[in-house]
């Protein structure tokens, strides 16, 4: 039992050294956008808006298809279609 080392060391990471504020990251100053960057920013904003719109439309369409699929697969719904008087003649099997 004499081969074991004492467990006085902590396995936690050492804290960061406290230094002066000189080594801190420099503050970013507000820069004027160049015309190229302005165009790029407008294109990016338009692309994000279009993407958000498409995702919303796809989600709404998916929910509507799910609702139709849940209702249309019921036998009572299908039987009610055959009871309709004005149902096209070529669709009804006799």
- Provide the whole-model pTM: 0.47
Does residue 43 come out as left (phi exceeding 0), alpha (psi in the -120 to 50 range) or beta? Answer: alpha
Please state, in angstroms and rounded to a whole number, the distance separating the CA atoms of residues 92 and 72.
Answer: 17
Q: What is the reported pLDDT for 71? A: 82
pLDDT at 54 over 90: yes
Does residue 11 come out as left (phi exceeding 0), alpha (psi in the -120 to 50 range) or beta? Answer: alpha
Mean pLDDT of 44-71: 95
| Region of poorest pLDDT, from 21-25, 54-58, 60-64, 71-75 | 21-25
pLDDT at 28 over 80: no
> Contact 92/82 with Cβ under 8 angstroms?
yes
């Amino acid at each position: 039992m004499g081969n074991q080392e004492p467990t006085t060391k902590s396995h936690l990471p050492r804290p960061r050294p406290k230094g002066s504020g000189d080594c801190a990251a420099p503050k970013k100053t507000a820069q004027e956008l160049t015309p190229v960057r302005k165009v790029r920013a407008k294109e990016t904003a338009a692309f994000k808006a279009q993407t958000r719109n498409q995702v919303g439309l796809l989600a709404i369409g998916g929910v509507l298809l799910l609702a139709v699929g849940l209702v249309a697969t019921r036998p009572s719904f299908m039987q009610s279609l055959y009871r309709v008087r004005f149902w096209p003649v070529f669709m009804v099997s006799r």
